[in-house]
Amino acid sequence: MGLIDTYGDQLVSAFWTTVQLTFWSALGALIWGTILAAMRVSPVPILRVFATWYVNIFRNTPLTLIIVFCSVGLYQNLGVHFAPEDSSTFIDQNNFRLAVLGFVVYTSAFVCESLRSGINTVPIGQAEAARSLGLTFTQGIRMIVLPQAFRAVIAPLGSVLIALTKNTTIASAIGVAEASLLMKTMIENEADKLFLVFGIFAIGFMILTLPVGFLFGYLGKRLAVKR
């Protein structure tokens, strides 16, 4: 209990930052991943090519490389920033938002592939029926295909979300004060309690990820499209 008493407030703050990173990154990845999935099945060749290359490149690029590039490449070399420079918390805000950008870029590739597999479960006759009713490709995929595709891949999307939650530890590479950065500090200060420190953070991440797994598993069975 000594560690909890000493680092309790910092633990809450660090895991809250992890939750925020996960939420905003998941939201951005879901939006961009859905757009990419629509592009992958689009009748426009250039959109299919772009989405295919995007997925293949970023799905096979180390996440650490992407996160470090967002900080070193975008901010330090190109001057791109996402926070007001006159703010007293500019560095913290900018690093957080750069980390979110990196996670969105990376995770959206996995969201796209999960959704594409869901789209493939929708009978092609439904898309043809939509076109025969005069619906455009965008209307058909938005109103008919995607709703069924999402229901078919709820469980896989849950796995992507769990992976994203654990991947947020990489944000410490650019100084984001999330859980793993605090863990490094605690290891340095409490070297004689190494296993206890590891246990605290392992339990913390289990508290974050296990309910997500159970929830998405339940929803996946409850909302599955009956074929």
The pTM (predicted TM-score) of the whole model is 0.90
- From 83, 77, 78, select the one nearest 100 (Cα to Cα): 83
For residues 82 and 20, the model is more confident at 20
Asked whether 174 and 70 are in contact (CB, 8 A), the reply is yes
pLDDT at residue 114 is higher than 90: yes
Mean pLDDT of 166-185: 83
* Distance in angstroms (rounded) separating the CA atoms of residues 165 and 152: 22
pLDDT at 206 over 70: yes
pLDDT value at residue 94: 86
% the chain with pLDDT above 70: 97
Residue 54 predicted with pLDDT over 80: yes
> Could you give the 3-state DSSP secondary structure of residue 213?
helix
